[in-house]
A and B are shown apart, each in its own frame.
Chain A
Amino acid sequence: LPAYNLPMPLRSHVDLCLFVKFLYLEGDSIPADILPALRETEAAEAKLQAWLRLRQYSPRLIFHETFHYWQGLRFPFFQWYAFLAFRGLAQAFDKLNQSNRPLHEWSCYAPSLHLPTKRIRCRRTKAAFILGDQTPGPGDVVDDVSLSAIDVLEAATSVAEWQVTQPSSGATDELMFMRWRKRNPAYTQAFDFLAGALGDRRLALRSILALVATSFSTTNPARAFFLLTLELVEFFMAPIGSRFAAQQEPCRWAELFDELIRHVEFEALGDSTANLDAPPFCRLTLDAWMGAGFGNSKMGHPVIAAPAKEWSRRAEEDPGYRNVLTLPAWTPAHVARECGSDFAPPVTVVRIRISDNDNHVFLVGDASRSDEFRDLLTFYSVVRRATGAYFDPDHRLCHHAKCPEFAYNYCNSYPRVPERYQDCGFPRRVSILRETLKRRHIV
């Protein structure tokens, strides 16, 4: 069993399958006038008001995780991957459930669910990029990096996080960015690779968000990131590239990368694979995957399918919606406001650590009172533990170490943590879920 490692900080995160936001906050970092309202009141409105006040104290964290959620809505890779991965988890649950084994013995490995963390190595020489394990010439290598889809995603999110705190006139100022990333934790490995390849940090700051967005319109974003970087380097060697770079921001980076990706060699036709184990390298489109349904039903991904369709609909009518993820510092104010309210994650699980023996957990968001969502989180909690996919062994919401469920941690994302562990209802809810799903195979 994974150890409960208290000295390590727990990460706030959005998992890339369910796209539910988990926020972990330390009680001692919460202002004393807000904490009691959050902890003690059951009145939804008072709690919501306290939560809204608290958000102002963690704007970077809130933005970082919300930006990931928006990436889930807008990047074809996630509409493809999250849909298929969720289906894989549902199949895993179904299979384990049919086996009639006790819950605490549920265990299986699902290799396909680790796709976003698979790294690809790239060695940059003065003359070429060498992907994978091919051997470069001796002494040629000027950069050697291994990146996964998540590394690429995080680099873009960190740059976006910085850009939205700058006036748009300063959003490409490399010196300001370098100072910011020293003073703040940020993922910058992919940015550094791009800046090295271009030989220009400012150009890297200007282009990375659109480059990453286009990379996530393929089945292998890390590979696409390297190949598009090479295309971009070659583009800037031509006179047209110099003219493009000489323009003032906001530039049409998304359109540029749509053009550059046409030069990339793919292994299969676009949208032609549902294989997460070893997918061929191909392009993906939003239209093909945000409408995907399970089995014969029209039910799509439970969290990101419907808002993705709504965002796409608005993007057709209002161009401001098209570039939120590629030019966030230039997003029109009304679009930024609407994205914050209309495209907030439907459920955010908030865990406030008061002490080692006391956590306070609550849900916020439009679907926070939905029983179906609690079932979804119960299902997800169990299958996450059983498969190990998207599962950080330190991740748990509950502090009741005396509970018989605690050590097994199948309840890692179960969102009800009452004063007495006997009152949480997790075992009962799992039993009902198991019985229900046994009666009707969900996939």
Chain B
Amino acid sequence: MSVLKIDAGKQTEPLLKEVLNSLDDATLDTVGVDRTFAPADGLGSEPITIAVTLTLSPAVAIGLTIAVRKWLENRRQEEQVKLLIDAYALSDEAGKSVERLTTLHAGVAVKLHDALPQNSAEPG
């Protein structure tokens, strides 16, 4: 399995929606989704996603990268977005696909890591 850690600040959830909606249910079942929420500070509050860790196969990672690219292209005329992606244990092809995102948008930064991070989410 591979891991993508995505941080797009307040745009993380809209991005994630686009990316996950590009998957059919059967593929979604194979993906682990672990959101990081802003702390609630004593309030009964709606969950606000500030980052997400996706655990997925390298093939699905390529598909997701295409969805990220589409999302970025659709946003080009809108406000600037900063998108940080840490990618772990991707195949060469998936790694290239993720790296290409940096050429599309000045606000995108990508780091590739060979090994999996500790405590990565299991699909379930």
Contact = CB atoms under 8 A, between A and B. Distances in A.
Nearest to A24: B46
A392 B37 contact: no
Contacts of A175: 29
B11 to A, nearest CB: 9
B46 A64 contact: yes
Contacts of A186: 47
B31 interface: yes
B87 interface: no
B31 A68 contact: no
Interface in B1-54: 9-10, 13, 17, 20-21, 25, 28-29, 31, 33, 35, 37-38, 40-50
Contact of B44 (A9, A15, A178): A15
B64 to A, nearest CB: 13
Nearest to A71: B44
A175 B38 CA distance: 26
Given A182-B33, A183-B21, A185-B35, A61 B10 contact: no
Contacts of A101: none
Interface in B64-123: none
Contacts of B41: 117, 390-392
* Consensus secondary structure, chain A interface: helix
Contacts of A51: none
Given A9-B38, A178-B124, A16 B44 contact: yes
Contacts of A158: 47
B29 to A, nearest CB: 7
Contacts of B20: 182-183
A185 B37 contact: yes
Interface of A: 7-9, 11-16, 61, 64-65, 68, 71, 113-114, 116-117, 150, 153-154, 157-158, 175, 178-179, 181-183, 185-187, 389-392
Given A16-B43, A186-B47, 4 more contacts: A16-B42, A61-B46, A117-B40, A182-B28
22 contacts: A8-B10, A8-B38, A11-B40, A12-B45, A14-B45, A16-B42, A65-B44, A65-B46, A113-B42, A116-B42, A117-B40, A117-B42, A150-B43, A154-B47, A157-B44, A158-B47, A175-B29, A179-B29, A182-B31, A185-B47, A187-B37, A391-B42
